[in-house]
Chain A
């Protein structure tokens, strides 16, 4: 079965960087894009960006595009998301999500990682 296993929670100071990893299993890693979604405490879901493990192409939300880098390691079936220059507003649970479906058919988030809490605190 499809599994996305994320790295553990992190506590970072303002201005620092954090890197969250997501190891995929149960399917051919390069076949499906991985997206990242975050959720601040008590808030809604916010899409951050995507990466293709096949082409290594990426796309980022404008809000974080200057501070985020998504990478993929096909040898370990792992996707990573690094966020730099952290502020208190970056405190959130970060999810990696595997896309299902191929455009022009609808695409959707069927498989989610368990989430990684990143806390920004001085």
Chain B
């Protein structure tokens, strides 16, 4: 199984900051990496798929990069609604696995 190690598990930031979340895979997985955002009590929402393709309707302040084993989600200029939890997911090989999640908190 591919293990996904997401870091940090939480971070504190301010509105307007630029933050990055990292996901590291236990083996190479090309670009089969997705990022989701989840607000409390809500269904997860797809942000980025294929490591770097922005899902339609997602603000361009979100971006993804990486290939192989190391991937990054970057949020430029944090907005108040961005202080929620983010998950990475690999769909390269079964079982598809998620990272542990990163909670972005307001400083």
Enumerate chain A interface residues (CB-CB to B < 8 A): 35, 44-47, 50, 59, 61-62, 95, 100-101, 105-110, 112-115
Please report the total number of B residues contacting A with Cβ < 8 Å.
26
Once the chains bind, are B94 and A110 in contact (CB under 8 Å)? Answer: no
Which 8 A/B pairs are nearest by Cβ-Cβ distance?
A108-B49, A106-B50, A45-B98, A107-B91, A108-B34, A44-B101, A112-B43, A106-B32
B55 within 8 A of A: yes
Once the chains bind, are B95 and A61 in contact (CB under 8 Å)? Answer: yes
How many residue pairs link A and B with beta carbons under 8 A? The number is 62
B83 within 8 A of A: no
Known contacts A35-B96, A45-B98; decide if A106 and B51 are in contact (CB<8 Å): yes
Once the chains bind, are A44 and B50 in contact (CB under 8 Å)? Answer: no
List 5 additional A-B contacts (Cβ < 8 Å) besides A101-B91, A106-B50.
Answer: A45-B36, A45-B101, A59-B94, A101-B49, A105-B50
B14 within 8 A of A: no
Measured CA separation A41–B34 after assembly (Å): 23
Q: Find chain A residues with CB under 8 A from B44 CB.
A: 45, 95, 109, 112
Measured CA separation A47–B32 after assembly (Å): 16
Q: Find chain A residues with CB under 8 A from B72 CB.
A: none
